[in-house]
Chains A and B, each alone.
Chain A
Amino acid sequence: MDASPLPPQITINGVQFNATPGQRPLRVDGCMTIGQLFQKRCADLGQRTAHREKDFGIWKSFSWADYWQHAKWIGLALRQLGLNRGEVVSILSEDRKEWAWFDLGIQCVGGITSGVYTTDSASQLQYLVTDSDSRFLIVENEEQLDKFLEVEDALPSLQKVIILDDEGLHDLNHPRCMMIADLYALGQQAEARDPDLFEAEIEKTSPQDTALLIYTSGTTGQPKGAMLSNENILAAIESGARALPTLETDEQLCFLPLCHILERDVSIYFPLAGKCTVNFAESPETVFANLQEVSPTTFTAVPRVWEKIYSQVLIMAQEATPAGRAAFGLALKAGMARAEYIHRGEPVPAGVAARFWLWDRLVLRNLRRMLGMDRLRRGGTGAAPISGELLRWYWAIGVPLVEGFGMTETAGIASLNTPEINRIGTIGQPVIGNDLRIAEDGEIQIKGLNVFQGYWRNNAKTAETFTADGWLRTGDMGHLDEDGFVSITGRLKDIIITAGGKNITPAEIESRLKFSHYISDAVIIGDRRKFLTALIMIDQENVEKLAQDRKIPFSNFASLCAAPQIRELISQEVAAVNKEFARVEQIKDFRLIDVLLTAEDDELTATMKLKRGFVEKKHAHLIEDMYT
Chain B
Amino acid sequence: MSEPILKIRNIESFYGPIMAIRGVSLDVHPGQIVSILGANGAGKTTLMKTVSGVMDPEKGTITFDGAQIQGSEPHKVVQRGIVHVPEGREVFPLMTVDENLSLGAYTLTDKAQFDHDRELVFSYFPVLKERRNQEAGTLSGGQQQMLAIGRGLMANPKIMLLDEPSLGLSPLLVQEIFGILKRLNEEQNMTMMLVEQNANAALELAHHGYVMEIGRIVMDGEASDLMQSEDIQNFYLGVKEEGARENRRWKRKKTWR
- Interface residue ranges, A against B (CB under 8 Å): 122, 141-143, 145-147, 149-150, 167-168, 171-172, 544, 547-548, 551-557, 559, 595-596, 598, 600
Nearest CB of A to B27, in Å: 9
In the complex, chain A residues whose CB is within 8 Å of the CB of B9: 551, 553
8 contacts between A and B (CB under 8 A): A168-B249, A544-B216, A551-B9, A553-B9, A555-B24, A555-B210, A556-B219, A598-B255
- The answer to whether A168 touches B247, judged by C-beta atoms less than 8 angstroms apart, is yes
Q: Which 8 A-B pairs have the closest CB atoms?
A: A553-B25, A149-B244, A548-B23, A143-B250, A555-B217, A150-B244, A168-B249, A146-B244
- In angstroms, Cα B23 to Cα A553, docked, is 8
- The answer to whether A555 touches B220, judged by C-beta atoms less than 8 angstroms apart, is yes
In the complex, chain A residues whose CB is within 8 Å of the CB of B219: 555-556
Partner of A142, one of B23, B24, B220, B248: B248
- The answer to whether B245 touches A556, judged by C-beta atoms less than 8 angstroms apart, is no
| Interface flags, B19-48, vs A, CB<8A=1, else 0 | 000111110000000000000000000000
- In angstroms, Cα B224 to Cα A169, docked, is 37
Does B256 belong to the interface (CB within 8 Å)? yes
- The answer to whether A598 touches B253, judged by C-beta atoms less than 8 angstroms apart, is yes
Known contacts A548-B12, A600-B253; is-contact A556 B220 (Cβ 8 Å): yes
| Interface flags, B192-236, vs A, CB<8A=1, else 0 | 000000000000000000100000111110000000000000000
In the complex, chain B residues whose CB is within 8 Å of the CB of A145: 245
- In angstroms, Cα B61 to Cα A555, docked, is 15
Q: Total interface residues on B, using CB and 8 Å?
A: 28
Nearest CB of B to A20, in Å: 50
- The answer to whether A556 touches B10, judged by C-beta atoms less than 8 angstroms apart, is no
Does B60 belong to the interface (CB within 8 Å)? yes
Nearest CB of B to A185, in Å: 24
- The answer to whether B250 touches A544, judged by C-beta atoms less than 8 angstroms apart, is no
In the complex, chain A residues whose CB is within 8 Å of the CB of B248: 142, 146
Partner of B256, one of A547, A551, A557: A557
Known contacts A146-B244, A146-B248, A150-B244; is-contact A551 B10 (Cβ 8 Å): yes
Nearest CB of B to A87, in Å: 26
- The answer to whether A171 touches B217, judged by C-beta atoms less than 8 angstroms apart, is no
Known contacts A555-B210, A556-B217, A557-B256; is-contact A547 B244 (Cβ 8 Å): no
In the complex, chain B residues whose CB is within 8 Å of the CB of A551: 9-10, 59-61
Does B257 belong to the interface (CB within 8 Å)? yes
In the complex, chain B residues whose CB is within 8 Å of the CB of A141: 250
Nearest CB of B to A451, in Å: 37
- The answer to whether A547 touches B250, judged by C-beta atoms less than 8 angstroms apart, is no
In the complex, chain A residues whose CB is within 8 Å of the CB of B217: 555-556
Known contacts A146-B243, A150-B244; is-contact A556 B256 (Cβ 8 Å): yes
Known contacts A548-B10, A553-B10, A556-B256; is-contact A146 B245 (Cβ 8 Å): yes
- The answer to whether A596 touches B250, judged by C-beta atoms less than 8 angstroms apart, is no
- In angstroms, Cα B250 to Cα A386, docked, is 36
In the complex, chain B residues whose CB is within 8 Å of the CB of A600: 253
- The answer to whether A555 touches B253, judged by C-beta atoms less than 8 angstroms apart, is no
Partner of A171, one of B210, B247, B249, B257: B247
- The answer to whether A548 touches B22, judged by C-beta atoms less than 8 angstroms apart, is yes
Partner of B245, one of A149, A548, A554: A149
Residue of B26, B245, B248, B257 ringed by the most chain A CB atoms within 10 A: B245
Closest to B218 in A: A556
Nearest CB of B to A342, in Å: 38
Nearest CB of B to A546, in Å: 11
- In angstroms, Cα B244 to Cα A149, docked, is 6
Nearest CB of A to B104, in Å: 32
Closest to A147 in B: B244
Other contacts beyond A596-B256, A600-B253: 15, CB < 8 A: A141-B250, A145-B245, A146-B248, A149-B244, A149-B245, A150-B244, A547-B10, A548-B12, A551-B59, A552-B10, A553-B10, A555-B26, A595-B255, A596-B255, A596-B257
Nearest CB of A to B47, in Å: 13
